[in-house]
Amino acid sequence: MKILVLSNLYPPDTLGGYEMGCSHVVEALRDRGHDVLVLTTAPRTPAPPLPYVRRGLRLTDIWDEYSFQRSAPVTSHLVQARSHRVDAFNVHALATTLEEFEPDVAYVWMIVGVGGLGLLGCLHHLRVPWVWHLMDDVPLMLCKAGGRLVPAFAREFERQLRGHYLACSRQLVDEIEGGGLRLRGEVEIVPNWVRGPAPPSRTSYRRDGVLRIVAASANIDRRFDKGIDLVIESAALLREWGRSGFAVNIFGRVADPYFPALIRRYKLDDVVTLKGSLPQSELQARYGDYDLFAFPTHAREPFAFAPLEAAYRGCVPLMSELCGNGEWFVHGVHCLKAPRTAEAFARVVARVLDGQIDLPAIGRRAAGVVRRDFHLDAVLPTIERALACASATTRAGAGTAAEAYRMAVLAEKLSHVLIQEALCA
């Protein structure tokens, strides 16, 4: 198949697991003989050229919170409109690429920051079939303004856009539809994955009598609500309860002084260590040195890669009981779960320290199920079938690229006029 992949960013330019997952699938599809072209944005830092990656889109960087929060309200709304709804420049780039590459199917990933609704509208007008891989509530984001769903956007999204969705968890689908947006077409649940050769089986836990706990986040920052503060607070509780024989290492770029201060406040410098960032491949290899992966993430976490990568190496995930990852794993069989509080996490760790939980048995089962069901080799056939099914869709009634671009220009201008009239009157 000829597959056009749409993504706001592409490695080495990333925000997190969404873009990394996109690159994993692109590489695997190319390895299986598919002709894949990635259309993405110009990188925020220099990136080496790749023959199958066209960096021809323009990114509206709404993740630059320093600038975004200091902008006038009208400016913020205009930026969000171009990011979420229509960027005529990007519609032109997409239409041109479609004419030149002539794909059988478009494979859509994260399209916030590139005028996502405009890109979907272009695909719809040209009757290009699409598969949308969802690892976050992106459709809902695109139909919101100022944090609230815009009924007119949701209504037109549901009326006009019908395709094939691959969602990483049922929880994510429920969140999107519970937020007021129905996904029309086929919705399939496809888990996230690990990749690469299976690591050697774990032979020991609690080496030298020390329970080694690891936590990781791309950014150690309260804005991302990954629960790193709960990891630190649970360590403080364990010490308060008289427990010893454990150590906590936290990986990620420390972007918030709150966390080092929290460690100092609880006098945990000898127990909790902020290890900084590591390249992803090196961090994954390190998981095999740890016994527990602490993951007290927020309840709406769709499905993080890191707990899978840890479990692949026999490091038992200890996760919030209400998160997308928990949907796929059974407590006490493949993982440990707890309510999202420092005390609840500390109590589970205390049971491990007291020998009440058979950590090696859970670690072996976790590694086994990830190798069998959550390896990219196991997931990829489902993705291929979805792409092949979509590519067979009729294209009767397709409009022209020139029409799509004219409508995008009109929509972009109209959006700006309406925002300025509403906020500057």
- Residue of 257 and 223 predicted with greater confidence: 257
- Per 3-state DSSP, the chain is made up of helix, strand and coil in percentages (nearest 5) of 45, 20, 35
Q: Pairing state of beta strands 144-145 and 148-149?
A: antiparallel
Percentage of the chain surpassing pLDDT 70? Answer: 99
Task: Give residue 360's pLDDT.
Answer: 96
Structure tokens at 141: 């984001």
- Please give the pLDDT value at position 70: 74
Q: How far apart are CA 215 and CA 263, in angstroms?
A: 14
pLDDT given at position 78: 84
Instruction: Please tell me the predicted confidence (pLDDT) of residue 418.
Output: 79
Q: What pLDDT is attached to residue 65? A: 72
DSSP string, 61-92: -TT-HHHHHTS-HHHHHHHHIIIII--HHHHH
Crossing angle, helix 376-391 and helix 17-31, to 10 degrees?
80
Q: Smallest Cα–Cα separation from 175: which of 138, 130, 227?
A: 138
In the chain, the amino acid numbered 292 is L
> Average pLDDT, stretch 361-367?
96
CA nearest neighbour of 41 among 80, 83, 81: 83
Report how far residue 304's alpha carbon sits from residue 215's, in angstroms, rounded to the nearest whole number: 13
The one-letter code for the residue type at 423 is: L
pLDDT at 425 over 60: no
Burial 303-313 (b: 16+ CB within 10 A, else e): bbbbbbbbbbb
Tokens of 352: 């491990």
pLDDT bucket at 68, cuts 50 / 70 / 90: low
Confidence of residue 222 (pLDDT cuts 50, 70, 90): confident
pLDDT at 20 over 60: yes
Q: Which of 31-40, 78-87, 111-120, 384-393 has the lowest mean pLDDT?
A: 78-87
- Provide mean pLDDT across the span 371-394: 96
Q: Is 331 left (phi over 0), alpha (psi -120 to 50) or beta?
A: beta
Cβ neighbours of residue 347 closer than 8 Å, sequence gap 6 or more: 338
Q: Is the model's pLDDT at 11 over the cut of 90?
A: yes
280: left (phi over 0), alpha (psi -120 to 50) or beta: alpha
How many residues are there in the chain? 425
Structure tokens at 305: 């890669």
Residue 1 near residue 388, CB atoms below 8 Å: yes
Strand intervals (E) in 194-265: 211-220, 246-254
CB 227 within 8 A of CB 340: yes
Return the pLDDT at 367. Answer: 96
Q: pLDDT tens for residues 306-353?
A: 999 999 999 999 999 989 999 999 999 999 999 999 999 999 999 999
pLDDT tier for residue 265 given thresholds of 50, 70 and 90: very high
Which of 34-38, 219-223, 264-268 has the least mean pLDDT? 219-223
Residue with token string 């229509």: 86
Higher pLDDT, 246 or 226: 246
Question: Residue 417's pLDDT band (boundaries 50, 70, 90)?
Answer: confident
In eight-state DSSP terms, residue 297 is: -
**Phi, psi for 408 (deg, rounded to 5):** -65, -45
Average pLDDT over residues 203-209: 92
In the chain, the amino acid numbered 342 is A
What percent of the chain stands above pLDDT 90? 82
| Weakest-pLDDT range from 61-65, 245-249, 344-348 | 61-65
Count, in order, helices (H) and strands (E) of the chain: 16, 15
Residue 414 — pLDDT band, cuts 50, 70, 90? confident
pLDDT average, residue stretch 15-34: 96
Give the pLDDT mean for 274-280.
92
Residue 283's closest CA among 301, 260, 309?
309
Query: Residue 310 carries which side chain, given as an amino acid letter?
Result: A
CB 114 within 8 A of CB 41: yes
Mean pLDDT of the chain: 94
d(CA 171, CA 319): 15
Dump pLDDT digits (tens) for 95-139: 999 999 999 999 999 999 999 999 999 999 999 999 999 999 999
Q: What average pLDDT score do residues 273-296 get?
A: 94
The C-alpha torsion from 184 through 397 and 390 to 16, rounded to 10°, is -70
Q: Which two tokens stand for residue 97?
A: 């690429």
**Arithmetic mean of pLDDT, 365-371:** 96
Nearest Cα to Cα of residue 290 among 249, 240, 330: 249
Q: Which residue has the tokens 């056009």?
A: 4
For 134-191, the pLDDT digits (tens) are 999 999 999 998 889 999 999 999 999 999 999 999 999 999 999 999 999 999 999 9
